[in-house]
Structure 1
Amino acid sequence: MTSDMRITWTVAGSGRADCTLEDRLVKVELTASYITNAPEELLTAVGRLVVGETETRAQFEAEPTAYRWIFYREGEDIWIRVLELRDGSDHDNRGTEIWSSQLGIDQLARTVIRCFDEVAQTYGESGYRGKWGEHFPRTELEALRRLWHAHHRSDNT
């Protein structure tokens, strides 16, 4: 499995964020606009995987480009594909795969939690709102953290 996955979320200006997604092999830059709830969608999608959902998605709108994250789970393994689409309403088969990886559910959850913990530490919640234009996704981040900890406890019993 691919390891060393890292996600960095940088608020680039009012209503715009840059998301860097990388592993040992590939690094891609995604853009997200606040016209959709991109951070909340990503956190919620990973939470769904933690509780056992076998397929889920998240999408970042970059006006007009979109980046669609497609997640598949089998057992403890997660396959991720990120597609770049010319328009957010396009079907998956119209997109170009710009990143893919396979990793464990724990690694994915840790990576996403770490990303948004770093965002909170870097900007503070009020600074994030001032730059992004929307509230920091505290509810979704803490929900994912709780689900992940519960998953750990159930694995250890």
Structure 2
Amino acid sequence: MTSGIRITWTLAGSGWADCTLENHQAKVELTASYITSAPEEFLTAVARLVAGETETRAQFEAEPTAYRWIFYREGMDTWTRVLELRHGSDHDNKGTEIWSSQLGIDQLARTVIRCFDEVAQTYGESGYRGKWGEHFPRTELEALRHLWHAHRRSDDT
């Protein structure tokens, strides 16, 4: 398994965010627009994975480009693929894979929670709304955190 990943979410302007993925092998930058619920969709996809789904997806719209996250889970392992698509409605096979990684489910959940905890700390919830144009995804973040803690407790028993 790869050793660690870092995800950062930076508000780049009114209604725009940059998402950076990096590990010891690669670094990619994605863009997301507020025209869709990108952070909520992303957090919910990871929560579904933690809850036991074997495949889930999220998409960032960058008008007209899109970045599609495809998550797979088998046991305690996850695989993440990010595709860059010319248009958000394109089929997966029209996309170019720009990122892939394999992580434990615990490590993926912890990384995503840390990312959005840092966003809340950096901007504050009202500052986030002022720059992004929508509320901070508190409900989705806390749902993921709750599922992750429950998952970790079940691993201890």
Q: Identity, % of aligned pairs?
A: 87
Matched AA of 2:150:
A
- Alignment partner of 1:57 is 2:57: yes
TM-score by length of 1: 0.99
Paired position in structure 2 for 1:92: 92
Paired position in structure 2 for 1:6: 6
C-alpha distance in 2, partners of 1:131/1:80? 28
C-alpha distance in 1, partners of 2:36/2:78? 25
C-alpha distance in 2, partners of 1:66/1:3? 27
Matched AA of 1:48:
R
Deviation sequence 1:12-46 (CA, Å, 0-9, x none): 00000000011110100000000000000110000
Paired position in structure 1 for 2:77: 77
RMSD of the TM alignment (CA)?
Answer: 0.4
TM-score by length of 2: 0.99
Paired position in structure 2 for 1:67: 67
Matched AA of 2:25:
L
Structure 1 segments of 4 or more deviating over 6 A? none
Q: Give the unaligned 5+ runs of structure 1.
A: none
C-alpha distance in 1, partners of 2:3/2:46? 17
The residue matched to 2:90 in structure 1 has which SS? Answer: coil
The residue matched to 2:78 in structure 1 has which SS? Answer: strand
The alignment covers a number of residue pairs equal to 157
The residue matched to 1:115 in structure 2 has which SS? Answer: helix
